[in-house]
Structure 1
Amino acid sequence: MKPRHLLISLAAAAGLGVASVATAHGAEDIVKPNFSRAIPNIPGKSLVAVEVLYPPGGASHPHTHAKSAFIYAYVLSGTIVSKVNDAPEHTYKAGEAFFEEPGSRHPVSRNASKTEPARLLAVFVVDTDDKALTTND
């Protein structure tokens, strides 16, 4: 399944529960659905969470997030190198977090290690009608 199709499915499933499949998202990363639900007190908005698993040396393709998506990212394990829009690359260790503004371009998202895996939890607050949370550049 292509990443766009996974993310379309996640957006469509908002409020219907947690999906349970994993799929390739980029060159070597794996995106595993974690949570998806409409936010009842904010009509038209949903909360979608995915776990991104990076094998040693793994990376995501450069991508852009939905124009409505505010993203909170938390490094669960390992070390992640991230670059958002025109900001410099930054290295995040397990327990550290960052955010991305709606419509952000994410040209770099990769595991900093060639020998250890890394995991990232990405939580999207997004318009329920957005069909693609992420599109490859």
Structure 2
Amino acid sequence: MKRQNISSGAVWEDIVGYSRAVRIGNLVEVAGTTATEGEEIVGKGDAYEQTKYTLQKIEEALIQAGATLQDVIRTRIFVTDISQWEAVGRAHGEFFRSIKPASTMVEVKALIHPDLLVEIEATAVMGGL
């Protein structure tokens, strides 16, 4: 099967050796995504805004891979403060309320930058298995 790497253009992709998303066949895996635009953090101090922005970036990567949010079967949400779960969950629900992918939210000690509150991964299967 052909492999398609989707780049976000982030400088870290070449340094670390990763892609924003990878499609093989009808499977798309979206890497851990945060609320960054270049070197700027979007929604600084606001878990809800960071989650919304992150999910918009994930949706863009899916579209580049030929998929949509409707194809998402799993999300993994990493938060630095689990007490913010309702804000994060509300934003996730705005994108996935009718889709209802399997999802996990866990608290982690830190993300790559101290102002990042949320990181999300997604798995999509286009057209079913």
Q: Same fold (TM over 0.5)?
A: no
Which protein has the bigger strand share? 1
Short-chain TM bin: 0.3 to 0.5
| TM-score where L is the length of structure 1 | 0.38
| TM-score where L is the length of structure 2 | 0.40
